[in-house]
Amino acid sequence: MRLRLEGVIIVTTPGPAANSEGGAKMAKQMTFVVRGTKDGWLVQKQGKKTPESKHRKKDAAVKKGRTLAKRANGILKVKAKTGKIQAKRNYGA
């Protein structure tokens, strides 16, 4: 974009936080997954191997996952022991 003000040319370019349409880029939301194992339930960041927490009961794992997702303005996925997604909640701003 070029603006001409009394003989001065100002050239503006989109900053690093803009996309090709000129709007702001969306930050990728952090996703937390609650999944069952043979020993109990895990809360993990999606794509990470190390769990954020381990629980004996599913409801405790879901509660912890919800807390982490809300704190990160992220997403919580709850999976059954079979691996099927039972619920997905977005706590983004």
**Cα–Cα distances in Å, from 22 out to 26, 55, 92?**
12, 45, 22
- Tens digit of pLDDT for each residue in 2-30? 545 565 555 555 555 555 555 556 668 89
Q: What is the rounded radius of gyration, in angstroms, for the C-alpha atoms of the chain?
A: 21
- Tens digit of pLDDT for each residue in 58-74? 999 999 999 999 999 99
Query: Helix or strand or coil: residue 71?
Result: helix
* End-to-end Cα, the chain, rounded Å: 31
Q: How much is the pTM?
A: 0.70
- Tens digit of pLDDT for each residue in 40-58? 999 999 999 999 999 999 9
